Structure 1
Amino acid sequence: MNPSGVLETEAAMQSEQVKKLQAQVAEGFAGSSKAGRVMIVGNGLKWKQMSLSPEDAELLDTRRFSVEELCRIYQVPPPIVQAYQFNTFTNSETAGRWFAQFTIAPWARKIEAAFARAVFGPGSAYEVEFDMSGFLRGDPLQRWQSHQIALANEVLTPNEVRQVEGWNPRTGGDVVKSAPKPEPSIA
């Protein structure tokens, strides 16, 4: 049974009254041939809708489609505009990086170029560059693993890693520290 609504009343009803009302509703409104009839209720009874009408369901579906279309037009991942219908945490994280890389970054490059032309003039040795690293950082575990690999392979110094994280340098942090070599095993 899937009722589209219920009849409510604040008055107490006897079981015989309930059965009589159920029989009247079934007789007058049950079945496809009686669909759409107007129900007149009295004696303090109120109709409370429990399910969406087909028109309301269609309206919601149209709104959802409109949000998706706008996201496609402006290249914005749906989670960015809080459209979480088919979303997981991993999708959100990836969507954030995608948004930064493919939506914000192209506009940032255009603004950088326009600002550099307007302030420094064409052919200047100076450049303007937005720091987009905050958008592209990823999760902490991935960052720390990548720092560990960069330090172990002597690609970055400890202070360069600290700079990437936005931290102040430390004394002695500009020295590349070689990773300890594994000891040969004696079998």
Structure 2
Amino acid sequence: MRGKTPILEGGMEYQQLGMNNQDAEWLASRRFTIDDIARMFNVSPIFLQEYSNSTYSNFSEASRAFLTITMRPWLANFEQQIKSALLMNSPKRGIRYQVEFDTADLLRTNPKERFQSYETAIKSGVMCPNEAREREGLSPRAGGDEFSQAWKQTVEIKQQPEGKA
């Protein structure tokens, strides 16, 4: 009786559980259309709500790739246009203006990676604690504008006098 419809009793009605070939082909063509559009606009299918092959790490990497491959050329073009249209060379020497889009939020990682990055920056004296707090939307704390001196610290080794252990 394999592959055949069993006998239905008591007013039961047949309902197909699977998908017929026509519907399966339609879904495959729809998937191909999404991939086609993604290729046309140079974006990952994740950004077109196609999540069949996605994980969190895929999404994180796709976000970075989106900024680097898709947005960076556009942003660079806009920056150049703004510079040429709005900014002139300053008559005073040493004064330069810069136009740059802030893309930090587009690359915002998970909290663990962010805090490890802040820790490294603070310990190496590149960033003070209040700068890290500001990036996280927190209010400054007293003494938080002091830069770490950990990168300057050296370890002093004291030698034991001979004969003592």
- Specify the alignment match of 2:93 in structure 1: none
Match of 2:27 among 60, 75, 81: 60
Counterpart pick for 1:74 among 41, 45, 66: 41
Residue deviations 1:22-74 (CA, integer Å, cap 9, x gap): xxxxxxxxxxxxxxxxxxxxxxx865333222122111111111211221222
TM score, norm. by length of structure 1: 0.65
Structure 1 counterpart of 2:75? 108
Q: Which runs of 5+ in 1 are unaligned?
A: 14-44
Code of the residue aligned with 1:178 in structure 2: it is: Q
Q: Summarize deviations over 1:127-149 as a string: whole Å, max 9, x none.
A: 32211100012111111101111
Q: How does 1:15-164 map to 2 (within 5 A)?
A: 48-121=15-88, 123=89, 125-164=96-135
SS of 2:15 mapped into structure 1: strand
CA pair 2-91 structure 1, distance change in 2 beyond 3 A: farther
Does the 8 A contact of 1:6 with 1:50 survive in 2?
A: no
Please identify, of 124-133 and 144-153, the stretch whose mean Cα deviation from structure 2 is larger.
Answer: 124-133
Greater relative contact order: 1 or 2 (C-alpha under 8 angstroms, separation 6 or more)?
A: 1
User: Does structure 2 conserve the Cα–Cα contact (< 8 Å) formed by 1:7 and 1:46?
Assistant: no
- Rate the CA distance shift 1:110–1:170 in 2: closer, same or farther, 3 A: farther
Distance 2:39 2:157 in 1: 57
What value does the CA root-mean-square deviation take over the aligned residues? Answer: 3.2
Give the secondary-structure state (helix, strand or coil) at the position aligned to 1:126: coil
Q: Distance in 2 between matches of 1:65 and 1:7?
A: 39
Q: Retained in 2: the 8 A contact 1:158–1:175?
A: yes
Q: Provide structure 2 residue ranges, at least 5 long, that are not aligned to the other structure.
A: 91-95
Distance 1:154 1:58, change over 3 A: same
Residue 167 of structure 1 and its aligned partner are, at CA, apart by: 4.9
Aligned amino acid, residue 77 of structure 2: K
